[in-house]
Amino acid sequence: MRILVCIKQVPFVDQLKFDLATKRLIREGVGTEINPFDRRAISAAVNLRNQFGGEVIVITMGPPQAREALLEALAMGCDRAVHLLGREFAGADTLATARALAQACRKIGFDLVLCGKYSTDAETAQVPPMLAELLDVPQVTGVTRLEFADDGKHFTATREVDDGFETIAATIPAVLSAAERLIKPIRVGPQDLEPARQKPLETWGAADLATEVSGFGLAGSPTFVSDIYSIEPTRKRVIRTVDGAVKTVVQDTVRDLLDEGLFETGRSLPQRAIRPHRSTGLKPGSGSKERAIWVVAELVEDRIRPVTFELLGRGSELAGVIGGELAAVLIGHNVAPHAKTLAAYGADRVLLADAPALASYSTEGYTTVLANAIRQHDPYAVLLPSTANGRDLAPRVAARLNIGLTGDCIGLEIDAQQRLVQLKPAFGGNIVAPILTKTRPAMATVRPGMLLSAAPDFSREAVIEPLAIDHGDAIRTQVVSVERSASAGVELDNATIIVGVGMGIGGPENLPSVQELAATLGAAIGATRRVVDAGWLPRQMQIGLTGRSVAPRLYVALGISGKFNHVVGIQRAGLVLAINNDPKADIFKQCDYGVVGDWAMVVPALVQALREVKRK
């Protein structure tokens, strides 16, 4: 079995600084490492090679110092390495990167390509699906478990989704992306590096991959960064210490939260009503189809996922600015009844693809339907949710159509030239880069919880237009089992209040107290990585760098130390309340209000105080 592993060298994100004057990231003195997800991909590849024989070849595209990442990968057990190096590769976006990697993969030949789920600096998760499309092989992203049959060709891969897990069967060749829990990474010691230097390490330039090199680097990138700026929030850091007076400290803290608008939806996060076409003056169906904005609807257990309504809300506003219509794309089986709801939330037109083969989400089936529809109708922009399925689908569609994609956006604007400006966070969420697209349509995925949904008007009607169902033999994967185990993970998308659980609560036996606080606040529950690793709560509830980002009005951190990997997931929270018995905990540097004290004493007092407020 010949296995290729595509890796990236990334900076230690928590060491990066931003120069406000020059609007540049300060990289001097910042260390680098192999992207953590890529370490899992390397380890899985080495295990498969040891099981079935063959070789593991590691590939990276990067500056000269990326050679060190390749040497470490060789020390982990890879057999040889290829370094794509040259100025022609510089400035590449995800599609140009995937294009170069695909050419290298073809040149080498492969049975299996493994990548990390995403890189911790850019967090796009776009390269693996784009690579799969350019290589014309099936994909499974976010793999947490991988098993091969004895023939070394048939495999099942368990994929982590937002509300559970899906187990998918397929055959090689294929592209897989490794999630954090797929395997523990192989450890490398100093004694392993010297033997690694004796292994083959080739350097290839753009001319070694293609006679025409304009598809690589900046020249081949359909998206570009127009600016860069910092959005690191400024926290109030009002910290109170419990010295026997728990009730007083809690009451003072609750008073501050009430002053901030707790229980008043119009205070901390203004919920202005977005009424479809009422504010723009357009009538349903009167917008230009040539300036159409499409929203790809996502269903979870036959219900429209709330992020779809957020995209329709913002899409309605953007369509009003450019004089276009707002269309919803609805793919599935027996899903036509949802068209009325999509119309109520702003859709002028519902593009409907309904077929038994589309009943379950499949990357290739949905890609074929959506890509063909885009080719036929040529919309101005296509918006998808940045969910497990959205991140799986959008990159493959973009690669098939050779168009730009901006992933994981937190906002969308129209500039003076009527271009779609896509606001993309990076480096843990502290930096935002406005992205523009050279190609049509512009395509973006948007994080749940970032936008306001439209106020529904169920008197509205939309034009229903069937889409051609021509997936042919496109679906080369089969869903063999589904485990829906964490609906609470989906609830985090739009939660206005979240109670975060850290190891400091002591153990899972104390979760009922957390749940009582959450019920009193009307909150969802999230967790740190260590909590989900310990099995106290489902993995889909993990918040942080390798989990999900959230944007509640209020985030309550219980027993959370506040390390960078968790805090980056709550950057967009309106307010942060921290409760921890360690006055030196990092979370107190990242909160608006803090209580230093035993959570087991503070939380019951907080529940009582909140109940008294709600009774008034």
Which pLDDT score, from 0 to 100, does residue 284 have? Answer: 45
Q: Which residue, chain included where needed, has tokens 């957020």?
A: 310
Which pLDDT score, from 0 to 100, does residue 278 have? Answer: 38
Stated as kind and residue range, the H or E segment containing 471 is: none
Q: CB neighbours of 18 closer than 8 A, spacing ≥ 6?
A: 24, 25, 26, 230, 232, 430, 431
Residue 275 lies in a domain: no
Q: Which residues pair with 425 in a beta bridge?
A: 432
Q: Do 322 and 343 share a domain, yes or no? A: yes
Q: Which residue, chain included where needed, has tokens 């995925």?
A: 445
> In whole angstroms, what is the distance from residue 402 CA to residue 98 CA?
11
Taking phi over 0 as left and psi of -120 to 50 as alpha, with beta for the rest, 472 belongs to: left
Q: Retrieve residue 127's tokens.
A: 């390269």
For residue 541, pLDDT beyond 80: yes
Residue 607 lies in a domain: yes
Q: Retrieve residue 537's tokens.
A: 């709560």
Least confident span in 14-23, 41-50, 56-65, 146-155: 14-23
| Model pLDDT for residues 371-399, shown as the tens digit of each residue | 999 999 999 999 999 999 999 999 999 99
Query: What is the amino acid identity at position 196?
Result: A
> In whole angstroms, what is the distance from residue 97 CA to residue 216 CA?
7
Please give the model's pTM, rounded to 2 decimal places: 0.86
Q: Do 251 and 324 share a domain, yes or no? A: no
Q: Do 238 and 118 share a domain, yes or no? A: no
Residue 277 lies in a domain: no
Q: Do 208 and 250 share a domain, yes or no? A: no
Q: Do 403 and 444 share a domain, yes or no? A: yes
Which pLDDT score, from 0 to 100, does residue 273 have? Answer: 46
For residue 266, pLDDT beyond 50: no
Q: How many domains does the chain have?
A: 3
Residue 480 lies in a domain: no
| Model pLDDT for residues 452-487, shown as the tens digit of each residue | 887 899 999 999 999 988 765 679 999 999 988 656
Distances (CA, A) of 150 to 4, 52, 521: 20, 9, 52
pLDDT band at 271 (very low <50, low <70, confident <90, very high): very low
Q: Identify the CATH number of the domain in which residue 187 sits.
A: 3.40.50.620
For residue 280, pLDDT beyond 50: no
Q: Do 249 and 311 share a domain, yes or no? A: no
| Model pLDDT for residues 328-338, shown as the tens digit of each residue | 999 999 999 99
Distances (CA, A) of 425 to 97, 228, 348, 475: 19, 10, 30, 33
> In whole angstroms, what is the distance from residue 161 CA to residue 183 CA?
18
Which pLDDT score, from 0 to 100, does residue 444 have? Answer: 97
Q: Do 519 and 588 share a domain, yes or no? A: yes
Residue 145 lies in a domain: yes
Residue 610 lies in a domain: yes
Q: Retrieve residue 584's tokens.
A: 């030196």
Greater confidence (519 vs 454) lies with: 519
Sign of CA dihedral 238, 242, 245, 247: positive
Count of beta carbons in the 10 Å neighbourhood of residue 466: 11
Which pLDDT score, from 0 to 100, does residue 201 have? Answer: 98
> In whole angstroms, what is the distance from residue 427 CA to residue 118 CA?
12
Instruction: Round the CA-based radius of gyration of the chain to a whole number and report it.
Output: 25
Stated as kind and residue range, the H or E segment containing 465 is: strand 463-466
For residue 269, pLDDT beyond 60: no
Greater confidence (571 vs 43) lies with: 43
Q: Do 424 and 536 share a domain, yes or no? A: no
Residue 478 lies in a domain: no
Query: What is the amino acid identity at position 235?
Result: R
Which pLDDT score, from 0 to 100, does residue 53 have? Answer: 97
Region 347-355 average pLDDT: 96
DSSP state of 131: H
| Model pLDDT for residues 190-217, shown as the tens digit of each residue | 899 999 999 999 999 999 999 999 999 9
pLDDT band at 545 (very low <50, low <70, confident <90, very high): confident
Q: Do 138 and 36 share a domain, yes or no? A: yes
| Model pLDDT for residues 45-64, shown as the tens digit of each residue | 999 999 999 999 999 999 99
Region 100-107 average pLDDT: 98
> In whole angstroms, what is the distance from residue 545 CA to residue 430 CA?
12
Q: Retrieve residue 41's tokens.
A: 């991909």
Q: Retrieve residue 571's tokens.
A: 């950057």
Q: Find out whether 243 and 601 touch, Cβ atoms under 8 Å.
A: no
For residue 268, pLDDT beyond 70: no
Region 406-426 average pLDDT: 90
Q: Do 238 and 294 share a domain, yes or no? A: no
Q: Do 206 and 348 share a domain, yes or no? A: no
Average confidence score pLDDT of the chain: 90
Q: Identify the CATH number of the domain in which residue 562 sits.
A: 3.40.50.1220
Question: What range does the domain containing 435 cover?
Answer: 288-473
Q: Do 351 and 319 share a domain, yes or no? A: yes
Residue 105 lies in a domain: yes
% of the chain with per-residue pLDDT over 90: 74
